[in-house]
Amino acid sequence: MQSSFKLRDNSAVTIVNSLPTQTQLNAFYLRELGEPQNYLSVPKSDEYYDIHLIEDAWNDFEQSLIDTATFPQNYSEFINWYHELHSLHTKEVSSFFNWLANEATLEELGFYIAMEEQVDGRFDDVIALAQLGLTGDMKLALAENYWDEMGLGKEAEMHTVLFNESAKKLSALLDNGVLIPNPPTEALKNGNLLLMYSLRRQYHPRLLGALAILEHTAPYRFSKTVKAMERLNLSEDIIYYHEMHIKIDANHGKQLLQRVLLPLLKHNPEIMKEICIGCLTRYNIAIEYYKSIRISIS
């Protein structure tokens, strides 16, 4: 099949890191996750060729930033490696989140929350897809995570509902709302990575690694966000979603590590590289994402 993309040449890095390409990927993924009544909009088979070329080039680029020689070689080494990455992640984003907690204006906080919608909007679907293929207690660990996302069976407590309500109420406090017709490339990459990993089954181990480090580092980010909201005297109904995730995500991160990643690696050490790539790629993209928000605001 003749492709309209030429991603095997030196322009690949520029293309996959461009706003048009990441926007294209995001639109494609959302069509794949479309509601039942939108079944006619689901991508057709001949559309996947170009998308897969883009995804291959993107993954090649992200892997080029990672030194696989430093990866842990066994189960015991992974535990130390993972905890070191967790600590490094917090250290790398601390400047941004200390600024958010202590200095950001209401408008700047609103911009950050608007960017977070790029990830949070379909996070429940990502967790649902992450469960596929797992068995036993590993599947239960993700199922418990998913049930939390579902508000423990209460529609009003579903996390996507709570987040959307919080973001809407925060936006209403601003003079002109927070209208971002074209999110920065880094924000789209931050959301697209999880969507790609969850929709392409060959990246299942990477998805589990990315989710673990995302959930495990989330309580720090939420605690700083809550501090910013309290400093700005926002109402409890705006703060509630963010405050609840300080404890919830701490548990999710712990469960993903202890009940999913470690059992997988203990019995299937051959997937060590894939899980580590998922952890580090999420780390790299998240760091660039937070930098981009600060640059966009200033």
Indicate the residue among 64, 87, 116 that finishes a domain.
64
The structure's pTM equals 0.92
Contact predicate 213/282, CB 8 Å: yes
Q: Are residues 48 and 175 in the same domain?
A: no
Question: What percentage of the chain reaches a pLDDT higher than 90?
Answer: 81
Q: Please name which of 180, 169, 170, 192 lies closest in space to residue 122, comparing C-alpha atoms.
A: 192
Same-domain status, 263 and 185: yes
pLDDT band with cut points at 50, 70 and 90 for residue 179: low
Residue recorded with tokens 């089954």: 201
Chosen domain end from 64, 87, 112: 64
- Dist CA 285 CA 206 (whole Å): 14
Which amino acid is located at 148 in the chain? D
Q: Which domain holds residue 248?
A: 73-297
Q: List pLDDT tens digits, range 20-48.
A: 999 999 999 999 999 999 999 999 999 99
Residue 174 DSSP class: S
Indicate the SS3 state at residue 142.
Answer: helix
Q: Is the pLDDT of residue 210 over 90?
A: yes
Check whether residue 78 and residue 175 sit in a common domain. yes
End-to-end CA distance of the chain: 45
Examine the pLDDT at 282 and tell me if it is beyond 80: yes
* Same-domain pairing of 171 and 84: yes
Contact by Cβ (8 Å): 5, 54: yes
The 10 Å Cβ neighbour count of residue 254 is 14
What are 104-152's pLDDT values in tens digits?
Answer: 999 999 989 988 876 666 899 999 999 999 999 999 999 999 999 999 9
Instruction: Check whether residue 56 and residue 83 sit in a common domain.
Output: no
Kindly report the length of the chain. 298
Could you tell me which of 238, 214, 181, 206 has the C-alpha nearest to residue 287? 214
Same domain, 35 and 84: no
pLDDT tens profile 259-273? 999 999 999 999 999
The total number of structural domains in the chain stands at: 2
Question: At 161, which CATH number?
Answer: 1.20.910.10
For residue 4, pLDDT over 50 is answered with: no
Are 252 and 172 within one domain?
A: yes
Based on the fold, state whether residues 55 and 190 are members of the same structural domain: no
Does residue 154 share a domain with residue 53?
no
- Indicate whether 57 and 196 sit together in one domain: no
Considering the domain architecture, whether residues 131 and 259 belong to the same structural domain is answered as: yes
**Whether 60 and 130 share a structural domain:** no
Rounded to whole angstroms, how far apart are CA atoms 7 and 56? Answer: 9
Query: What confidence tens digit (pLDDT) does each residue in 141-159 have?
Result: 999 999 999 999 999 999 9
DSSP designation for 74: S
Give the domain-ending residue among 47, 64, 81: 64
Phi, psi of 179 (to 5 degrees): -105, 115
